[in-house]
Structure 1
Amino acid sequence: MPFSFFFPSTKISPIVPENQTKFTEFILLRFSEKPEQQGTVLGLFLGMYLITVIGNLLIILAIGSDPHLHNPMYFFLSNLSFVDLCVVSTTVPNMLVSILIENKAIPFADCLVQMYFFMVFGLLDNFLLTAMAYDRFVAICHPLRYSAIMNPRLCGLLVLISWIMSLLDSLIHTLMVTRLSFCTDHEIQHFFCDLDEVLKLSCSDTLINYILIYILAGLLFILPFTGILFSYTQICSSILKIPSAQGKYKAFSTCGSHLSVVSLFYGTGLGVYLSSAATHSSWKSTIGSAMYSVVTPMLNPFIYTLRNKDIKDALRKLINRTVFSQ
């Protein structure tokens, strides 16, 4: 989820006039106003979307078809792949259709639905990465108790809690948007309905919305991120105590892929926030958000496939079974 959601530029809008016409839709400006560039944007995002869908589906199928991967680490990975698939499916198909039919308008209700589910899956990414960090912490720092601690009941409970918290938090923000009024400016300089961009267009007082954003961001974003940092601090401390270099490499390799995904996830998100805060450019923020919400889910399957021998073996078996069964 973009850092602009967690740390938006606070704005208190003027009170809406009483004689306001009824608001019905937003206009998504996307990336370019030039018609000749729409084909390039369409091809680029269609390609990234297909790669993301195929890559994450292969990860899910490989884990589900290989009994050797039915353990907590890959259980969380399959959930992360599913969420990454949902993140891009929430935003990209709508943008591709709007380019094809040359219609930038999105109804207010559809905008709310898109905003809601984007926040849900963005928060789920955050929670699942935290659960995966805890899994690696237990595996490396408490290996003898790993099976007892990371039992199927706890893993299922962690995923269930992540879903409940994501759904409730996103519902709160979405319902708070429904109480706002929108006047003459309906143009969103983005390729999807981002919460911060929608709040900027409101002519109501958005102070309560921003207060809720900061409070809930502190609880649901900063605390999990702190948990990830603590987990890796303990992991590094345990790895440094291993006497052999081979043992250190083996221990670190078990969490290398996750650490790469965490760095990509938070690094791109932080880049979006710092870029928008420094330049105040909506277009640069839009491009940064695309890196965060489209490119990152596309790269995650490659990171886990290239750095993980078990996933590569499972994918090879899956492809061989598919080819020889025909």
Structure 2
Amino acid sequence: MVFGADAGIGVQAREVLAPRADQVLVQVAAAGCNRADLLQRDGRYPAPAGVPSDIPGLEFSGTVVQVGELAHGLRVGDRVMGIYGGGAQAQYLLVPESICVPVPEGLDVVDAGALPEAFFTAYEALVEQGGLRRGARVLVNAVGSGVGTALVQLARALGAQVYGTTRTQAKLEQCEALGLSGGLVVEEGESPATTRERLVALAGGEFDLAVDLLGGSHLSLLLAALAPQGTVVSLGFIAAQQASLDLATIIARRLRVVGTSLRGRPNHEKAVLARRITRDLLPLFASGELRPVVDRRFPLEEAAAAYARMEESRNFGKILLLPGAPVEGKSHDETARGR
């Protein structure tokens, strides 16, 4: 799938390259749709160097079909998933072996496409950057998004109380089924001060850690709801790239604002994260404490409809694109060009 010059979406044929050195070629079963794809489409979030600039897709699940001569950990037929800089919304994806994570036993390989960006990001925000402690109060905005649903599940599994905000009561109730301790539907025109008071009253106190998926004034609201020495981890700016912050409050209450992103990191850093995910999260999927939340599945040819659903915030959890299997009787080199 490619972005056109006019921000249109279509399917084109592209050559599939054979893996070299430590690369593996993955036949993609599913690729998640993310807000970052919308930003890239609109020219606000360019692809990093080394990946296609016009083929979106930051996460994938699928099966290894070829390995390079220096790839020794994976074999043809292994089920894998991971995050990459781009190009995942395609039939085939060439990636370094080191960034791949095994698909958990018992999990469908298609559903696994909803896991990497959401849960890897949640782990990075809560554990690596947020230093989450058992018993902490956690606040998440856009809690019904793919990353939001992962944050709820992981925070709960790690012993925290997790609260959230969203636009609709239906999404709030679905999040409660995932372990949300409580949440609010923010009313149209409601002042930030009122929202803060409602959240603190709901949780029975200020928050130790907050995760911002929206940016702009939403970041300022989360900061105002923090307890002294609290932390906000900023993950996105889909609402706005600029925010007005009260430095006097940040200084006096010793607050931390941490920004983080996975997409543009060098592959050796992604490899370290992949090992930690394998160690810390895969057992939680095996036990059933964590599960990917899939909103809907679309064939790659219906990507425009999938993007529209995400852009209009009609999804709860992750929207998946399914590139489809190769044409029967043909090799991947003959059929995979461009999907």
State TM-score, norm by structure 1.
Answer: 0.26
Structure with bigger RCO (C-alpha 8 Å, 6+ apart): 1
Give the structure with the larger strand fraction. Answer: 2
Q: Based on CA coordinates, which of the two structures has the bigger radius of gyration? A: 1
Q: Between Structure 1 and Structure 2, which shows a larger proportion of helix residues?
A: 1
Return the TM-score normalized by structure 2: 0.25
